[in-house]
C-alpha cells in the first residue's frame, strides 16, 4: 500500500514537472512571437484602434454599404461620413495586426508619434502631425528615415541610391512603402517584383535601363539557388563533423557563405543589381567550396581507374592487335 502511494506521488511529481516545463517553454519561446494578446501592450493607440475595427459580419456589411454610398456620392448623413474615416483607420489597424510589426510590438506610435500613454483621442493625437506636413514622420520624404530608426542597414544602403536622391528631389523615386505596402509591410517575392519595378522602369518612360525588372527578378531568383547550396553545405559540414573528422577549413568557407547570406537584405537596398549579383555568386562559390572540402575529407568513389580495369583494357588491346595480324 505504502509503496503504491509513493509510486503515485513520484508519477504526479513527474507530471507536474512536465506541465511546468511545457508552460515555461510556451512563455519563453512561443508566446512572444504572435501568441501574446495585444491587450497586454497597454498602448492606447492599439487599444482604441482595435475597437474601431468592424468586428461582426453585420457591421462589416453595413460598412460596405455605407462606403459604396459615399463613393457614388449618394447623399448620406454626417454619421456615415464619419464612419468612412473610421473605416480607413480600422483597415490600417487590421492590416497592421496581421503583420510582423504587430508580432514584434512595433505599435502605431513607433512611426506616427503621438502619445500612447493617454486615453483620449485628442490627447493621444496631439503631437501627431498631418501626413502632408513636411515635418511629419510619415511625410513621403521622411519615410526612409522613420523606418531607418530600426532598419538601419537597409537605410544605409538605400541612402546611396538614385531612388533616394530622386525621392528627395523630385518625388519620382520609390520610398520604402512603395515596395512594402503600409500596413501589411510585406516582403515581395521575385515573382511579384517585375510588375512593381515596371511601374516606373518600362520602355515608355525610359527610367534607367529597360532591363531593370527582368534583371531584378533574375537576381532574386539566384538567391534561391544560393539558399539551396548553403543548405547542402551546412548538411555536408554537419555530417562530417558528426563522424568526428576535422572540418575547420570547410567550416571557414561555410561561415563566409553565411555572412554573405546575412548581408543580402541590406545589400539589395543599394539597388546596384550587378554588385548584388556578384555578391550572390560569391556566396554560392563559398558554399560549393565548403561542400567540396567535406567530400575531400571523406573520399567517396576512387577517382583513378582500379588495377582490374587497367588489366581488362590491356587484354582487350592485345586481343585486338593479335587479330589484326
Ligand atoms: C480614444 C481613441 C483613440 C486613441 C487613443 C488613438 N486614436 Fe488614432 N484615431 C482615432 C479615430 C476615431 C480616428 C479616425 C477619425 C479621426 O480622424 O478623428 C483616428 C485616426 C488616426 C490616424 C489617421 C490620421 C488622422 O488624424 O485622421 C492615425 C495616423 C492615428 N489615428 C494614429 C494614432 C496613434 C499613433 C495613436 C497613439 C499615439 C492613436 N491614434 C490613438 C481614435 C484614437
Ligand atoms: C512601421 C510604420 C507604421 C506603423 C507601425 C503604423 N503605420 Fe500608419 N502609416 C505609416 C506610413 C509610412 C503611412 C503613410 C502612408 C502614405 O503616405 O500613403 C501611414 C499612414 C496611416 C494612415 C493614413 C494616413 C493619414 O494620416 O490619414 C492611417 C489612418 C494610419 N497610418 C493608421 C495607423 C494605425 C492605426 C496604426 C497602428 C495600428 C499604424 N498606422 C501603424 C507607417 C506606419
Ligand atoms: C520601432 C522599430 C521599427 C520601425 C520604426 C520599423 N520597423 Fe519594420 N520591423 C521591425 C521589426 C522588429 C521587424 C521584425 C523583425 C525583423 O524582420 O527584423 C520588422 C520587420 C519588417 C519587415 C519584414 C516583414 C516580414 O514579413 O518579413 C519589413 C518589410 C519592414 N519591417 C518594413 C518597415 C518599413 C517600410 C518601415 C517604415 C515605414 C518600418 N519597417 C519601420 C521594426 C521596425
Ligand atoms: C524598390 C523596392 C524597394 C524599396 C524602395 C525598399 N525595399 Fe525593402 N525589400 C524589397 C524587396 C524586393 C525585398 C526582398 C529582398 C530579398 O528577397 O532579398 C526587401 C526586403 C526588405 C526587408 C526584409 C529583409 C529580411 O530580413 O528579409 C526589410 C526589413 C526591408 N526590405 C525594409 C526596407 C526599408 C526600411 C526601406 C526604405 C529605407 C526599403 N525596404 C525600401 C524592395 C524594396
Ligand atoms: C516610383 C518609381 C520607381 C519604382 C517603383 C522603381 N524605380 Fe528604380 N528608379 C527610379 C528612378 C526615378 C531612378 C533614377 C533614374 C535616373 O534618374 O537615372 C531609378 C533608378 C534605378 C536603377 C539605376 C541604378 C541607380 O541607382 O543608379 C536601378 C538598378 C533601379 N532603379 C532598380 C529598381 C528595381 C529593381 C525596382 C523594383 C524592385 C525599381 N527600381 C522600382 C524609379 C523607380
CA-to-CA distance for 121 and 138, rounded, in angstroms? 19
Give CA separation, 89 vs 48, 94, 165, 246, 268, in Å. Answer: 10, 9, 31, 59, 32
Do 27 and 67 sit in the same domain of this protein? no
19 & 77 share domain: no
Phi, then psi, of 181 in degrees rounded to 5: -45, 130
pTM of the model: 0.82
Question: Is 109 among the domain residues?
Answer: yes
Residue 270 CA to ligand 4 center (angstroms) comes to 10
Q: Is 222 in the pocket of ligand 4 (CB under 6 A)?
A: no
Q: Per the domain annotation, does 166 fall within a domain?
A: no
Residue 30 carries which DSSP code?
I
Q: Which of 47-56, 60-69, 294-303, 306-315 has the highest mean pLDDT?
A: 47-56
- Which atom of ligand 3 sits closest to the CA of residue 149? 5
Q: Which atom of ligand 4 is nearest to the CA of 264?
A: 18
Q: How crowded is the C-beta side of 147, counted as CA atoms within 13 Å?
A: 23
Cα–Cα dist 61/49, whole Å:
19
Q: How confident is the model over 96-132, as pLDDT tens digits?
A: 988 999 999 999 999 999 999 999 999 999 999 999 9
Same domain for 50 and 91?
yes
Within a domain: 323: no
Dihedral sign from CA coordinates of 84, 86, 89, 94? negative
pLDDT band at 68 (very low <50, low <70, confident <90, very high): confident
* Structural domain for 47, as ranges: 36-125
Grid cell 462606403 — which residue?
A: 67
DSSP 159-188: HTSHHHHHHHHHS-S--HHHHS-TTT-PPP
104 and 27 part of one domain: no
Q: Is residue 97 part of a domain?
A: yes
Whether 70 lines ligand 5, by a CB cut-off of 6 Å, is no
* Domain end among 125, 158, 179: 125
Which residues, at least 6 apart from 8, have a Cβ–Cβ distance to it below 8 Å?
Answer: none
> Residue with the nearest Cα to atom 41 of ligand 3?
147
Cα-Cα-Cα-Cα dihedral sign, residues 177, 181, 182, 186: negative
* Ligand 1 atom 26, closest CA: 130
User: Of 140, 164, 169, whose CA–CA distance to 154 is shortest?
Assistant: 164
When mean pLDDT is compared across 70-74, 106-110, 237-241, 290-294, the lowest value belongs to 70-74
Last residue of a domain, one of 125, 144, 178: 125
In the DSSP assignment, the letter for residue 113 is -
- Flag whether pLDDT at 3 surpasses 70: no
Q: Tell me, using a 6 A CB cutoff, whether residue 185 lines ligand 3.
A: yes
Report the alpha-carbon distance of residue 32 to residue 40 in Å, rounded: 11
What letter does residue 298 receive in the DSSP assignment? S
Domain boundary among 101, 125, 149: 125
Q: Please state which of the ranges 46-50, 82-86, 181-185 shows the lowest mean pLDDT.
A: 82-86
Query: What Rg value do the Cα atoms of the chain yield, rounded?
Result: 31
**pLDDT at residue number 30:** 42
- Cell numbers placing 240: 562530417
Query: Which of 43, 50, 108 to probe ligand 2 with, by most ligand atoms within 8 A of CB?
Result: 108
> Does one domain contain both 95 and 70?
yes
Q: What is the distance of C-alpha 100 from the center of its chain?
A: 9
Residue 45 shares a structural domain with residue 113: yes
User: Is 22 domain-assigned?
Assistant: yes
- From the list 172, 125, 188, 177, the residue with the least C-alpha distance to 151 is 177
Longest dimension (CA), the chain: 112
Q: Is residue 319 situated within a structural domain?
A: no
CA distance 325 to 314: 17
Number of structural domains, the chain? 3
Amino acid at each position: 500500500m505504502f509503496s503504491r502511494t509513493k509510486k503515485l506521488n513520484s508519477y504526479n511529481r513527474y507530471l507536474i514537472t512536465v506541465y511546468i516545463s511545457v508552460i515555461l517553454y510556451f512563455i519563453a519561446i512561443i508566446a512572444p512571437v504572435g501568441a501574446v494578446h495585444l491587450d497586454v501592450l497597454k498602448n492606447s493607440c492599439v487599444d482604441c484602434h482595435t475597437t474601431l475595427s468592424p468586428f461582426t459580419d453585420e457591421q462589416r456589411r453595413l460598412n460596405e454599404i455605407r462606403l459604396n454610398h459615399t463613393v457614388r456620392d449618394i447623399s448620406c448623413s454626417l454619421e456615415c461620413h464619419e464612419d468612412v474615416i473610421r473605416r480607413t483607420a480600422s483597415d490600417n489597424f487590421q492590416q497592421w495586426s496581421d503583420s510582423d510589426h504587430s508580432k514584434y510590438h512595433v505599435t502605431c506610435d513607433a512611426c506616427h508619434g503621438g502619445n500612447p500613454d493617454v486615453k483620449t483621442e485628442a490627447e493621444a493625437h496631439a503631437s501627431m502631425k498631418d501626413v502632408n506636413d513636411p515635418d511629419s514622420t510619415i511625410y513621403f520624404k521622411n519615410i526612409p528615415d522613420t523606418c531607418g530608426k530600426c532598419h538601419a542597414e537597409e537605410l544605409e544602403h538605400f541612402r546611396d541610391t538614385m531612388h533616394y536622391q530622386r525621392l528627395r528631389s523630385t518625388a519620382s523615386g520609390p520610398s520604402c512603402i512603395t515596395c512594402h505596402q503600409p500596413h501589411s509591410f510585406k516582403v515581395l517575392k521575385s515573382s511579384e517584383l517585375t510588375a512593381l519595378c515596371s511601374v516606373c522602369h518600362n520602355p515608355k518612360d525610359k527610367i534607367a535601363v529597360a532591363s531593370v525588372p527582368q534583371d531584378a527578378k533574375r537576381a532574386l531568383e539566384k538567391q534561391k539557388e544560393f539558399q539551396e547550396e548553403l543548405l547542402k553545405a551546412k548538411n555536408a559540414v554537419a555530417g562530417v563533423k558528426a563522424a568526428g573528422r576535422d572540418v575547420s577549413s570547410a567550416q571557414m568557407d561555410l561561415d563566409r557563405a553565411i555572412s554573405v547570406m546575412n548581408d543580402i537584405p541590406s545589400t539589395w537596398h543599394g539597388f546596384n543589381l550587378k554588385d548584388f549579383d556578384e555578391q550572390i555568386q560569391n556566396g554560392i562559390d563559398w558554399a560549393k567550396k565548403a561542400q567540396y572540402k567535406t567530400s575531400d575529407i571523406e573520399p567517396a568513389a576512387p577517382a583513378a581507374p582500379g588495377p582490374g580495369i587497367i588489366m581488362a583494357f590491356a587484354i582487350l588491346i592485345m586481343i585486338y592487335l593479335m587479330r589484326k595480324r
